[in-house]
Amino acid sequence: MSSREAILSAIRGIKLEPKPLPEIPEFGIQGEIEATFVQSILGNKGEVLSQAEFETWLTASNHPKLISRSTHFSDLSTISLPEDPHQLNDLDLAILDGQFGVAENGAIWLEDADLGLRVVPFIAEHLVIVLNKKNLVATMHQGYERIGSATSGFGVFIAGPSKTADIEQSLVVGAHGAKSLRVVLI
């Protein structure tokens, strides 16, 4: 007998009482959606900028290797997407469009089509996600409603920069992935 069969038949041999699968009610949030979203991102150690603030920041900073896949800032890229993700090791900045953001926790949803290569938002030294204010939802429940039955091979909720508190519980931003997250709300 294969292990698959062994495991499944072991389970079949156990008398299990039926238990219903509950329906999930509509939960919302108390506060105003945009303000709550901004608070959540700040709490996760990210920043929220307006388009003008972002443009000022970008001109003042220096990012030799930059990939922008945002439709709002499409001509900013200084390099094109390579075939081999390893070549992105020294990527300074990635600018991506997020599909929607969740107010209660700041999580922003991105899929393969938004990323180009899956490694982009993780390997970039700094990450900018552009989000339309219209695309904010209250909680994760509405978030999954939006995802629906989408079939992207990969999708991710990003809620802040890479962080760790593994040394004596002191929070350090920039563990392995992006050292900063800026969300541009337009």
**Rounded CA separation 145/50 (Å):** 27
**Sites for another protein among residues 1-30 (CB under 8 A):** 2-4, 6-8, 10-14, 16-22, 24-25, 27, 30
Applying CB under 8 A, what is the total number of residues that bind another protein? 73
CB of 75 to another protein, least distance (A): 26
Among 71, 80, 134, 166, binds another protein (CB under 8 A): 166
- From the list 138, 145, 128, 143, the residue with the least C-alpha distance to 186 is 128
- The 8-class DSSP code of residue 104 comes to T
CB of 50 to another protein, least distance (A): 23
- From the list 51, 99, 107, the residue with the least C-alpha distance to 76 is 51
Q: Which amino acid is it at 178? A: A
Question: Does the footprint of another protein cover residue 90 (CB under 8 A)?
Answer: no
> Quick one: three-class SS letters along 72-93?
HHCCCCCCCCCCCHHHHCCCCE
Among 50, 78, 113, 144, binds another protein (CB under 8 A): 144
The answer to whether 97 and 129 have CB atoms below 8 angstroms apart is: yes
**Rounded CA separation 184/140 (Å):** 21
Per-residue mark of binding to another protein, 38-77 (x: CB under 8 A)? --x--xx---------------------------------
Question: Does the footprint of another protein cover residue 147 (CB under 8 A)?
Answer: yes
Question: Does the footprint of another protein cover residue 134 (CB under 8 A)?
Answer: no
CB of 55 to another protein, least distance (A): 26
